[in-house]
A = this chain, B = another copy of it.
Amino acid sequence: MAVARVTEVVGSSDKSWEDAVQEALDRANKTIRGLTGIEVTKMNAHIEDGKITEYRSHVRITFILED
């Protein structure tokens, strides 16, 4: 049966945490195949002048290891 690997990535966005997750996923798709699932483990943000300038979503990504 297949063996999977779990890796942790931090996506960022100036729009929302949901978009930051998508950024992380888009980047992962560039170099990883066989993605099966993600889990959001932390949502934080950078603030400047009282405004959120960078949403950051910490994401654990699971993908199948090819033989």
Contacts and interface: CB of A to CB of B under 8 A. Distances in A.
Interface string A1-40: 1111111111111101110000111010110000111111
Contacts of A18: 16-17
Contacts of A7: 5, 8
A36 B29 contact: no
Q: Give the number of copies in the complex.
A: 12
Interface of A: 1-14, 16-18, 23-25, 27, 29-30, 35-40, 42-47, 50, 52, 54, 58, 62, 65, 67
A6 to B, nearest CB: 4
A44 B6 CA distance: 13
A66 to B, nearest CB: 10
